[in-house]
Amino acid sequence: MIQTQGLCYQYPNGPRLVFPDADVPQGAVLLLSGPSGCGKSTWLALVAALVLPSAGSLTVAGQALGVLTSVAADAWRASAIGFLPQKLHLSAALSVYQNLAMAQWAAGQAEDARCIHAALQALGVDDLASRKPGQLSGGQAQRVALARSVLLQPQVILADEPTASLDDEAAADAVGLLLTAAKTQGATLVIATHDARVATLIPPDLQGQNGFQSLHLLRNML
C-alpha cells in the first residue's frame, strides 16, 4: 500500500515538485504517467525512501517513512521494495546467479540458492544462471532484473519506464511479466511511464477493478 498526502519535494537550487495525493491499496496497480521531466522518477525515489520529502506525509507498506533514520530506511527498503530501474544495473562482472545473490547479501541475508533458482525459473531464465549480463538479449536481461527485484518478496514493486526503447511485442511482454509477478507476490505495483502504450496493455478486467489506479503528473506542477 502507498498513501501520500501533501507530498512535495524541493530540489536544492531547483524546482519544487508538488504531487497529487495517492491512496493505493496493497496488491493494487498504479499507473504513474506523464511526460518526461514531470517528476515520475522523483516520486518513485520518495516512495522508496531514497530521498526525503520537503513536506507532506508518506506511508508505504505500512511504514511511515518520515520517522526512519538513514540506516533504518536502507534496511526497510531492502525488505519492502523491489525496484526495476530503466537502466537495469546488472553487474557485468557477475553471473546472472551472482547478481541475484548480491541482492540477498545487500539485504543482510545469507545466500539462498533455492530462492534464487525459483525466482529465475518463474521468469523463464533459470537456464541462463551461469551467463554474464553481456551474454543476454535485452529481453532476457530485463527478465533477470525483474527476478532480482522480486527475489526478496517485496510488498511494493516500482518499475521505472519498463517499456522504454521496446517494440510493441516486447513492451506487452514486459508489462505482462510485471503484472504476473506482482499478482504472484501479492505486491503493490507502480509502473512509471510516459509511454501511452502501457495503459492499453493493462487487461480490461483489471482496469474495471478498484485494484487499478492512474496518477497523471504534469510539468506545470514544478
pLDDT at 86: 84
d(CA 137, CA 128): 11
Q: Is residue 220 over pLDDT 60?
A: no
What is the percent of the chain with per-residue pLDDT over 90, rounded to a whole number?
58
What does the pLDDT average to over 182-207?
86
CA atoms within 13 A on the CB side of 129: 17
**pLDDT value of residue 219:** 63
Q: Treating both helix axes as pointing N-terminal to C-terminal, what angle do 113-122 and 96-106 enclose, rounded to 10 degrees? A: 120
Q: Which cell is 208 given?
A: 474495471
pLDDT given for residue 222 in this prediction = 47
pLDDT (0 to 100) of residue 154: 93
pLDDT at 212: 81
Share the mean pLDDT of the chain. 89
The per-residue pLDDT for 15 is 84
On whether the CB atoms of residues 200 and 171 are closer than 8 A, the answer is no
pLDDT tens per residue across span 23-52: 999 999 999 998 877 899 999 999 999 999
For residue range 105-142, list pLDDT tens digits in order: 888 889 999 999 999 998 889 999 999 999 999 889 98
Q: Is the pLDDT of residue 207 over 60?
A: no
Confidence check: pLDDT of 71 > 60: yes
Write down the domain spans for the chain.
2-221
CATH of 2-221 given 3.40.50.300, 3.30.300.30, 3.60.20.10, 3.40.630.30: 3.40.50.300
| Residue 4 pLDDT grade (very low, low, confident, very high; cuts 50, 70, 90) | very high
Joined together, the cell numbers standing for residue 220 give 506545470
Task: Provide the 10 A C-beta neighbour count for residue 41.
Answer: 18
**164 pLDDT more than 70:** yes
Taking the whole predicted model, whether its pTM rises above 0.85 is answered as: yes
Whether pLDDT at 221 is above 80: no
Least confidently predicted of 87-101, 119-133, 168-182: 168-182
